C-alpha cells in the first residue's frame, strides 16, 4: 500500500472505530457527572447521569432567585430535540427535573432555560451520553 493510501485509509478506520464504540454505548460517563455553564445573568451547575432513559437532573442556579427552570436536549448532528422538562423548586436555588432527556447515545447539547427577575436565558452545556441501564445486554 502506498504512503498516500495509508494516510487516506487510516483516518477512515479510526473514525469508523470511534463511531462503532459510541453506538455500542462507550464514551458515555459510567456514573453521575457535574457540568457547569454560565450565561449573562445566571450560572448553573447540573448534576445527572448522562444515559438514555428516564433520569433525575439536579440544577443549582446562582444567583438563587429564578422563578422557573427547565431542561431540554438537542443532538445537533442528528437533528433531534427533546421536549422541555420543567424542574421543581427544591429550595435555595436548587431544582430537580425528572424525565427522559436523551433518546439515544452520542453527543448532546443540554439547554437549561432559566427565568427570573434578571430575565430569561438558555445556558447550553455539552455532554456525551452512554447507554442507560435498561439497554445493557
> pLDDT tens for residues 36-85?
999 999 999 999 999 999 999 999 999 978 789 999 999 999 999 999 99
Of 1.10.10.60, 3.60.15.10, 2.60.40.10, 3.30.1490.20, the CATH number of 28-131 is: 2.60.40.10
> pLDDT tens for residues 99-131?
999 999 999 999 999 999 889 999 999 999 986
Relative to beta strand 54-62, strand 94-100 is antiparallel
CB neighbours of residue 99 within 10 Å: 15
* Joined grid coordinates for residue 137: 445486554
| Domain extent listing, the chain | 28-131
Amino acid at each position: 500500500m502506498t504512503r498516500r493510501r495509508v494516510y487516506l485509509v487510516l483516518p477512515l478506520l479510526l473514525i469508523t472505530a470511534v463511531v462503532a464504540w459510541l453506538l455500542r454505548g462507550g464514551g458515555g460517563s459510567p456514573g453521575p457527572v457535574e457540568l457547569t455553564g454560565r450565561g449573562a445573568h445566571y450560572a448553573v451547575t447540573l448534576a445527572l447521569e448522562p444515559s438514555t432513559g428516564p433520569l433525575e437532573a439536579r440544577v443549582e442556579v446562582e444567583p438563587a432567585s429564578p422563578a422557573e427552570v427547565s431542561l431540554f436536549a438537542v443532538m445537533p448532528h442528528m437533528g433531534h430535540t427533546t421536549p422541555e422538562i420543567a424542574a421543581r423548586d427544591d429550595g435555595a436555588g436548587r431544582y430537580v427535573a425528572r424525565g427522559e432527556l436523551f433518546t439515544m447515545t452520542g453527543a448532546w447539547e443540554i439547554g437549561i432555560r432559566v427565568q427570573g427577575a434578571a430575565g430569561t436565558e438558555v445556558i447550553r452545556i455539552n455532554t456525551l451520553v452512554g447507554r442507560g441501564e435498561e439497554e445493557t445486554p
